Structure 1
Amino acid sequence: MNLEFIGGFQIFLGVLARFWPVWIALAIILVLTISFKKRLGLYGQLFDSYVGIAGVMICLFWVFTAIFSGTIAPFDPLGQFLVMKDALPGAIEPNSGQVFLFGGDKLARDVFSRMVYGSRIVLIIAPAATMFALMVGTTLGLPAGYYGGRVDSILSFLANLVLAFPVILLFYLLVTPGIMDTPIPYSMAGVFFLFPIIFFSTLFYTRYKHRPALLAVQLGLTLLIGGWIYVGLVFNADPLGIISIRPNELNIFVAVVFASSPGVFRIVRGLVMDIKTRDYVAAAQTRGETPWYIMLWEVLPNARGPLIVDACLRIGYTTILLGTLGYFGLGLAPESPDWGTAIKDASRLLRATIHPALPPTFALMSFVLGLNLLADALREQSLKD
């Protein structure tokens, strides 16, 4: 069957049109931000430079793409149309009349729709895994830097032990199918996912221990929400059915947290060792505050600048890592539309058809670029402060 095609300019207009919910959301955000910039603190200050504006807009573009992916994508990312196998960009699907804007892949799936749905997977796993790594690294880095001595020696040795192991080999060991079927990933998840609950419980206890009524509410909500997420992630037994994670997704999640936590630990440890010598920390010690109160409410807030910058960069590193794992076949399920798996599938026929590999590659590159620009803008603002 001979396919009909649209021209390059029509493809460009078609892509712009498909992203209409994203353009509307970005316009609303931009207008509101400019209108209330002075009241938005650090976020508003990012719009004082072109680098900050570019970083925020690129990141928000992919965030809204993930949110509105069901509206933007014209086809199911797993849907196959046999006549569209390896179709060139701009090919019109005969039955529906819809255009394969970026063409079809080797399994006759719409490349554009898979790129759009891939953003949802990347923007769930990468930021979430980074946040858990921050929780683990921060919870261990605070006492290491504050107490020093034997506590610091033991925790630093464990962190250096993980950092000394080759990252790719580490992921290969944690994500290969043989390990997936063992209790190791679930045991590691059970340990790592306790850290947010411990962190926030300690945070609220040290702050509100003299106000029992408010403390009970804070701890109750922490244990309820934390326990719900914990049961859903570790045991895949969310009673509400909202949190659901596949074994291979859990393995990748655990592997990213395990590999990223030591880096966060070293950053937090170094910051604490510097900040604990400041006068306001000595004043808190004179008042008789407990060590954990000082760590969480005096030291950590003053270390937020470098940690926010590191979080942005680390999300970018995690995104690249997910793409690398997908490229080597160690990522998500083979049919997953995530960008790494899409690049891997397209690379096998790269000499014959290059168009399926380009959209996920540019998507991955642009998202990481946005995170790097955002981190640069945040670094500039932290230096000014």
Structure 2
Amino acid sequence: MEPLSWGQIIGQMFIQFTPVWIALVVLFTASIIYKRKLGLYGKLFDSPIGMIGFGIVMFWVFTAIFSNLIITHDPLVQVSGMKNKVPGTPVPEGTAGFEYYLLGGDNLARDVFSRMVAGSRIVVQIAPFATLFAFMVGITLGLPAGYFGGRLDTFLSFLANLILAFPVILLFYLLVTPEIVATGLPTYMAGVLFLFPIIFLVVLWNSRYFTQPQKRNVFVAITLLLGGWVYLGTAWGADPTGFFNMQSNILIVFVSVVFVNSPTVFRIVRGLALDIQTRDYVAAAQTRGEGPWYIMLWEILPNARGPLIVDFCLRIGYTTILLGTLGFFGLGLEPESPDWGTTINAGRRLLSIFPHPALAPALALMSLVLGLNLLADGLREESLKD
């Protein structure tokens, strides 16, 4: 068979992404129709920059979701004779999967297109959820530090500044090195850090439904049951069903991201709490006799959502870059992992001769971070109109 031209390659890739295009059309159509009922998310569709960023981000999210339908070959399988082949090269007869390597082969004769698509799944699994956990830690500690002040604020701020004193890349490097992993430190850190989402939700329900004990007890019981199940699986690998058990290499990277991002989130939340607690509606809540945690979680936090949502989007972008950096240095994830950083590192050795193995994941990483930045700009623009 003759190699594919670039027009044919682009056309076939467009066809491979059909599930993603369908999902994007459905999502955008429903969102635009009901945008006036969707709060800040709906207002995002009034911002062209925000819509473009949201579209790019959701493209990669849906790519991760439908990755098994999009890939043309197993991203870990090596096909004889396809080492460093250029895009559009036909595979040998009898090879499972599509008839061509759409974006060529890498230095181990694996399909670059399939590895790029499979790599999105790893990024989407780690970056948003690790950032969410970091926000849970930062919010749970930042609110009381800013609201109560005093020795509590001094102590927590000292710990945050101590962690932030280390260069981020160096701290990541130390946390994922085999010597540190062998001590079990990442597991113990997970045992502590992963408790914060449960603590946050329990305090949230208790402060909101303190006067309705039956409803409060139901919410707290559900949180403890489901949260404990997820906690045992993710932190200790003790989920009897195996559904929430996290691979050790992913756990190491996950914990590192949470640990590094939490102090920055803490400082942002603390600063917002110091500012918002001087507002009149906080004084009115205090006059009504509301408890401090109710004021923090239901008066201060909702009014800080704009800056926090924007920072959340930006921080996912930073986390994506950090994951790529770790993969580039061969740390954290397995060497054969299709994550974008590892793939770029594998392809850089022959970059001047065969640029396609490193170029495809590099462009994917760049586009996702660009989409997150544009989304954050759109959210910032709309939040300022409130």
What TM-score does the superposition give when structure 2 sets the normalisation length?
0.97
Amino acid in the other structure paired with 1:88: V
Question: Following TM superposition, by how much is the alpha carbon of 1:346 offset from its aligned partner in structure 2, in angstroms?
Answer: 0.5
2:252–2:332 CA contact under 8 A, matched in 1: no
Return the alpha-carbon distance in structure 2 between the equivalents of residues 324 and 382 of structure 1: 32
Q: Which residue of 2 aligns with 1:70?
A: 68
- What secondary structure does 2:304 align onto? helix
Q: Which residue of 2 aligns with 1:125?
A: 126
Q: Does 1:19 align with 2:30?
A: no
Q: Does 1:106 align with 2:140?
A: no
Q: Which residue of 2 aligns with 1:321?
A: 322
Question: Following TM superposition, by how much is the alpha carbon of 1:39 offset from its aligned partner in structure 2, in angstroms?
Answer: 1.4
Q: Deviations over 1:242-275 (max 9, x none)?
A: 1232222111111111110010001000000000
Identity %: 64
> Of the candidates 36, 40, 43, which is equivalent to residue 41 of structure 2?
43
1:329–1:341 CA contact under 8 A, matched in 2: yes
1:232–1:243 CA contact under 8 A, matched in 2: yes
Q: Deviations over 1:186-213 (max 9, x none)?
A: 1110000000000000000111122121
Amino acid in the other structure paired with 2:162: L
Q: Which residue of 2 aligns with 1:193?
A: 194
Q: Deviations over 1:1-23 (max 9, x none)?
A: xx741111100101101000001
- What secondary structure does 2:81 align onto? helix
Q: Which residue of 2 aligns with 1:263?
A: 264
Question: Following TM superposition, by how much is the alpha carbon of 1:352 offset from its aligned partner in structure 2, in angstroms?
Answer: 2.3
1:202-241 maps to which residues of 2 (within 5 A)? 202-241=203-242
Return the alpha-carbon distance in structure 2 between the equivalents of residues 332 and 33 of structure 1: 36
Return the alpha-carbon distance in structure 2 between the equivalents of residues 83 and 4 of structure 1: 16
Question: Following TM superposition, by how much is the alpha carbon of 1:68 offset from its aligned partner in structure 2, in angstroms?
Answer: 0.3
2:47–2:382 CA contact under 8 A, matched in 1: no
1:1-385 maps to which residues of 2 (within 5 A)? 4-94=2-92, 95-96=94-95, 98-385=99-386
- What secondary structure does 1:335 align onto? coil
Return the alpha-carbon distance in structure 2 between the equivalents of residues 340 and 102 of structure 1: 17
Question: Following TM superposition, by how much is the alpha carbon of 1:34 offset from its aligned partner in structure 2, in angstroms?
Answer: 1.7
- What secondary structure does 1:375 align onto? helix
Amino acid in the other structure paired with 1:5: P
Aligned length: 383
1:180–1:247 CA contact under 8 A, matched in 2: no
Question: Following TM superposition, by how much is the alpha carbon of 1:216 offset from its aligned partner in structure 2, in angstroms?
Answer: 1.4
- What secondary structure does 2:227 align onto? helix
Question: Following TM superposition, by how much is the alpha carbon of 1:350 offset from its aligned partner in structure 2, in angstroms?
Answer: 1.3
Return the alpha-carbon distance in structure 2 between the equivalents of residues 144 and 129 of structure 1: 23
1:133–1:264 CA contact under 8 A, matched in 2: yes
What TM-score does the superposition give when structure 1 sets the normalisation length?
0.98
Gaps of 5+ in 1: none
Q: Deviations over 1:116-140 (max 9, x none)?
A: 0100000110001100000001111
Gaps of 5+ in 2: none
Runs of 4+ in 1 over 3 A off after TM superposition: none
Which of 348-357 and 318-327 deviates more? 348-357
Return the alpha-carbon distance in structure 2 between the equivalents of residues 303 and 173 of structure 1: 33
Q: Deviations over 1:41-69 (max 9, x none)?
A: 11111111210110111011001000000
2:40–2:383 CA contact under 8 A, matched in 1: no
Return the alpha-carbon distance in structure 2 between the equivalents of residues 146 and 338 of structure 1: 41
Amino acid in the other structure paired with 1:202: V
2:85–2:106 CA contact under 8 A, matched in 1: yes
Return the alpha-carbon distance in structure 2 between the equivalents of residues 156 and 189 of structure 1: 21
Amino acid in the other structure paired with 1:16: F
1:115–1:363 CA contact under 8 A, matched in 2: yes
Return the alpha-carbon distance in structure 2 between the equivalents of residues 217 and 239 of structure 1: 24
What do you get for the CA RMSD once the two structures are aligned?
A: 1.0
Return the alpha-carbon distance in structure 1 between the equivalents of residues 99 and 222 of structure 2: 48
